[in-house]
A and B are shown apart, each in its own frame.
Chain A
Amino acid sequence: MDYHLKTPVPEDEIRKLKMGDLVYITGTVITARDEAHLKALELHEKGEKTPVDFKGVGVFHCGPIMKKVDGEWTVIAAGPTTSARMEIFQDNFIETFHPAIIIGKGGMGDRTSKACQEYGCVYGAFTGGAALLAARGIKKVREVHWLEELGMPECLWVYDVEDFGPMIVTIDTHGNNMTQDVKELVTARMEKIMAEMEG
């Protein structure tokens, strides 16, 4: 099934999605990688507010190439980065900030999958390297935060997006995880190949 969602996405709409569905989103997508996740969680722990509200929006594992043209930030290329690096704090992030969809590539693990189930979030896999397809769906750069401190790839870019996608749902709220399923198959095949290998 194809879904065209608008942010903020209500939790019941997120819970309708199933592994393998294609999703496009219109509204707000915010980039956040390793450093931005850490900083947002640190601020929350100190009882301080983050400069943006992640509730119901798309959190995009992406360090884009941006350029200032006539004083305005524009997107040059903005594809997904490897999400597995965020596995160590993504569950905490989902529990704390309640985003609707985590966008990235390469999939995520059990901790994230559990948090998605519990708090109503999905993981949308965007084709890795397809930075210009992604940029096409970004209509406006609304805000940027932490640019000076974290630099272009790591800071928070807040985008207005229109039919941003397609993302394939690989982690849904029903406990499914496509990347994990493939990984188990690959490991089994590896063991067989290793056992049969000749010198």
Chain B
Amino acid sequence: MDTQVLGISVDSVPCLTAWAEDLGGIHYPLLSDFWPHGKVAQEYGVLRSEGHSERAIFVIDRQGIIRYVDVHNIDDQPSNEVLRRAIRRIDPTVRDRPEATKPEPVALPRGGIVMYCTRWCPDCKKARAWLAEHHLPYTEVDITTTPGAAEQVERWANGNRTTPTFDIDGEIVVDFDLQRLRQVLKLK
């Protein structure tokens, strides 16, 4: 597509760099609207009183005119398909590209302690340290890279992607809940 994607937030450049690295690299620019703080967000009318921006999409055409605006529920991710439709509507010359097919969910590990986590979540780090301290062997499932894992956690955690979430021989413990973990693992 003859389209440039730009991410933009009020984070500083080092913070965006660290985040992009953690996500395995982001190939489009993430712009830092850090100083003067949120100036661009303010000009586009999407700066919130908390000091960060809305989750919002502007599609700007080849002449620099705004052709599509979507201010999204701050907790939701806009879908790529909705965006592609919007871009095609304003510019039918952009080439169609099929949506990347979603990888089939793989069989998730079962038996023993299985911890659903991400690399960066602070409670996952605490949980790893706690498991090591108690010499408990466990299997990690990274929900950002394992197809189907995030959806599995959502089913267990009332629609939330809570990490860590544990599957301990079929007993589910949502969050790093020490009391529940001790109980399920029969620790003192």
> Are these two chains actual partners, yes or no?
no
**B interface list, Cβ under 8 A from A:** none
